[in-house]
Amino acid sequence: MIQKIYFKTKDYCKVKFSFTPEIAATVEILGLNNDWEHAVLMSKKKDGSFAAEVNLPKNSTHQFKYLINQAEWLNDETADSFEPNEYGNTNSVITI
């Protein structure tokens, strides 16, 4: 799930990511701000879900994917849209 919180006086939006994979020890978000090398590590919650908060600039679009256990790439089904990537798959897209 993706939740966007806009601030009238700020030039960014706080985005809350929540993701519940079937089995996972770690979940990371890659691709935000076009950064596929530096991951946002999500925190594991008691219910088995993972969560993270990220500030993203207003009027921007970001492709991203979740990396599960440093091995499996997954999209967020609640993303705003999906774009093809260079590996013949798709990336999740969030528009702020």
pLDDT tens track, the chain, 96 positions: 999 999 999 999 999 999 998 889 999 999 998 889 999 999 999 999 999 999 999 999 999 999 999 999 999 999 999 999 999 999 999 999
Question: How far apart (Å, rounded) are the C-alpha atoms in residues 15 and 34?
Answer: 16
* The pLDDT value given to residue 70: 94
Strand, helix or coil for residue 32 = helix
**Domain range spanning residue 21?**
2-95
28-52 pLDDT per residue, tens: 999 998 889 999 999 999 999 999 9
- pTM equals 0.92
* The pLDDT value given to residue 42: 97
* The pLDDT value given to residue 55: 96
Q: How many domains does the structure of the chain reveal?
A: 1
Domain with residue 67: its CATH number is: 2.60.40.10
DSSP conformational letter for 29: E
DSSP conformational letter for 16: E
Question: How far apart (Å, rounded) are the C-alpha atoms in residues 68 and 21?
Answer: 8
